[in-house]
Amino acid sequence: MVDLRRTELSVRAERAILVQVRRAGDQELADASLEELRNLARNAYATVVGEITQARPRPDPVTYLGKGKVRQLASLCGRHEADIVICDDDLKPAQVKKLETALGTKVVDRSELILDIFAQHARTRQAKLQVELAQLEYAFPRLRKMWTHLDRTAGGTLGGGIGVRGPGEKQLEMDRRLVQKKISDLSKELSKIEEHRRRMIKDRREQFATIALVGYTNAGKSSLMNSLTEAGVSVRDRLFETLDTRTRQWTLPDGRCVMLSDTVGFIRKLPHHLVASFHATLEEAREADLLLHVADTSCPTVETQIEAVRDVLKETGCGGKPVLLVLNKTDALNDPLLLPLLRRMAEDAVCVSALTGEGLPELARRIEEFLDRGQVELTVEVGVGNGRLFSLLYEKGKVLDRSYRDGMAQVRVRIPESLMGAIESLGGRPRCSEPVRYGP
């Protein structure tokens, strides 16, 4: 497939022209989508030298734009010596072929651009496999436009050596079989990684509560994770800067430890095949006890970004998860009166600034309240040498008091009710016949 990748030391970045079809309706949303496309292009190391938009009910099924606009676009490409045209929607292979023929310039769509940026940021084996799988699934129906040798045949009725004589076979069919086999091999390898990751997440959940940061790309999730855990995650102002999931331990003010995961950012028009390919990466969000939905309050279209993230969460099987909305970057908010309006989207939202630390104590308190739900308070009698039980009480619960007598410890603790059996199996004796329950 077309490769847009450029290093930051490139001598000459590709000169790009952006193209958008604007449906009737919300012009603010169309403007935001075009601005996002500009940022995507810059992240792919392209220089935007021109833009063209067309208002119409739907894209032209043959050339995406109308005939007049295609001629205008061809003139613009020639005038600016454009190397590439980037469209703000997914294109059919036939549309790409027609446009490239009419323009004499390579054409890519939004999905291909996003895939290129993902390829730049993939670091781990899992992320690289996921990118390769998504690229192949994207490329498969587009093989006819991507290979120049498709109409040649291997072998033929005249001449040729052993094994290539006969009617021959179109190269396209050979390429299709190769791509299908590669997709199958990658899917199997990713399935093994997923299973291993699932076991890791399960083991982690048995020891700690798990929280996943989700949100629109560039909303400040990595900055928030650094502020809470000193994780040292990269926080450059680039879309999809975080592609591989990172998990760190976070000690709450009350002493309890939770595992906090930073996940890949979402975006409008996120291709379905991309969501499917990154199934393993999103496993952290699906298995988390709580999702922190981080939103950028300084963004003019923050409300539509919040809705876009909610839609993707539903698509990825996270729709029923407990979610706490975290309104980030309040330090960069020009109009403070917007905060009360944003709070209406979620009455229990927390306002924070990962940069200044404002609101972080309140966020921690709210998480402690969440962890207290479904918990019980009881006094456990335990031998002073029972290290395994002490570890369980301190790591999974909140120790309120303790005392020692005759080689035994009495520990008053608030802990998930589901761990009562584990306490008894480790030799602990709860002394409260009617433990106090917290939350629903």
Tens of pLDDT, residue by residue over 414-433, are: 887 777 888 888 888 876 54
pLDDT value at residue 205: 56
Q: Is residue 62 part of a domain?
A: yes
Residue (of 287, 288, 257) closest to 393 by Cα position: 257
Residues 216, 356: one domain? yes
Residues 245, 366: one domain? yes
Residues 367, 413: one domain? no
Residues 388, 345: one domain? no
Report the C-alpha gap between 28 and 305 in whole angstroms: 12
Q: Does 49 have pLDDT greater than 80?
A: yes
Write out the residue range of the structural domain in which residue 147 sits.
Answer: 124-153+169-206
Residues 267, 327: one domain? yes
* 128-154 mean pLDDT: 63
Q: Does 407 have pLDDT greater than 50?
A: yes
* 263-280 mean pLDDT: 67
Contacts 24+ apart (CB under 8 A), 385-394: 386/426, 386/427, 386/428, 388/426, 389/423, 389/426, 389/427, 389/428, 392/419, 392/422, 392/423, 392/426, 393/423, 393/428, 394/255
Q: Of 354, 371, 388, at which residue does a domain stop? A: 371
Q: Is residue 3 part of a domain?
A: no
Please check whether residue 438 is in contact with residue 375, taking contact to mean a CB–CB distance below 8 angstroms: yes
- The Cβ-side half-sphere exposure at 307, using a 13 Å CA radius, reads 7
Residues 42, 56: one domain? yes
Residues 352, 413: one domain? no
Please check whether residue 358 is in contact with residue 297, taking contact to mean a CB–CB distance below 8 angstroms: no
Better-scored residue on pLDDT, 153 or 243: 243
Q: Which has the minimum average pLDDT: 267-271, 276-280, 310-314?
A: 276-280
Residues 202, 213: one domain? no
Residues 273, 323: one domain? yes
Q: What is the CATH number of the domain that holds 104?
A: 3.40.50.11060
Q: pLDDT grade, residue 236 (50/70/90)?
A: low
Residue (of 14, 142, 1, 30) closest to 86 by Cα position: 14
Q: Of 371, 387, 415, at which residue does a domain stop? A: 371
pLDDT tens for 308-358 read 888 888 877 787 889 999 999 988 887 777 777 777 777 789 999 999 999
Q: Is residue 305 part of a domain?
A: yes
Q: Give the total number of structural domains in the chain.
A: 4
Q: Is residue 365 part of a domain?
A: yes
Residues 426, 400: one domain? yes
Residues 189, 255: one domain? no
Exposed/middle/buried for 81, CB within 10 Å: 0-12, 13-18, 19+?
Answer: exposed
Q: What is the CATH number of the domain that holds 408?
A: 3.30.70.240
Residues 275, 356: one domain? yes
Q: What is the CATH number of the domain that holds 228?
A: 3.40.50.300
Q: Is residue 271 part of a domain?
A: yes
Q: Is residue 161 part of a domain?
A: no
- The Cβ-side half-sphere exposure at 266, using a 13 Å CA radius, reads 28
